Amino acid sequence: MGREIRRVPKGWEHPVNKECKHYSGQYQAHDRYRKPGSYIYGKCFIPMYDKDYPTAVAEWKKGFFEWEAGTHPSKKDNDCEFWEYNGGPPDPDSCRPVFESQPTCYQVYETVSKGTPVSPVFEDKEQIVQWLISEGHTETNARAFVEDEWAPSFVVYNGQAAAGIDAFDMIK
């Protein structure tokens, strides 16, 4: 799965779906991030993008007005309506809550869905590196991921395949 580092406030707890029956306590052997004793084991997080609703709406409206005025960079190559090109207005349930304090910490998220956390909250990036190493990633891959703040879901390079964070050895 793709991974990214998001800024979050100290003490941030990603919203959970308390009615979710998906993770009933059974170990998902195929998912290294949901092993017993890990930070997220047994929690069912609500997938959400890394934008709050007011910000997402403002960005969508800006794009819409540029599209209608003919000033949007992609308008000249597309003979369609803005919502056909970019999708409809943001869904409030897909956006994270507005933070009540400054996002001064970091958390690793999977990004194949809208995004759910796969790590604890860290106060600095070096803590992420050390956590990734403890999770079985090489130091080289951990540092490259923290520097880029993003990793793809899967990479095939020169006939070799690697998933996510473990692909940096091949592509850097």
pLDDT in tens, 104-162: 999 999 988 789 999 999 999 999 999 999 999 999 999 999 999 999 888 888 888 88
Count the neighbouring beta carbons within 10 Å of the beta carbon of residue 166. 18
Using 50, 70 and 90 to split pLDDT, how confident is the model at 100? very high
Please compute the mean of the pLDDT values over residues 3-7 and round it to a whole number: 97
- pTM score, whole prediction: 0.81
pLDDT of residue 113: 79
- Phi first, then psi, for residue 127 (nearest 5°) are -65, -35
Mean pLDDT rounded to a whole number for the chain: 86
pLDDT in tens, 75-94: 988 899 999 999 999 999 99
User: How many CA atoms lie less than 13 Å away from 69 in the CB half-sphere?
Assistant: 9
**In 77-101, which positions are buried (b, 16+ CB within 10 angstroms) versus exposed (e)?**
eeeeebeeebeeebeeeebbeeeee
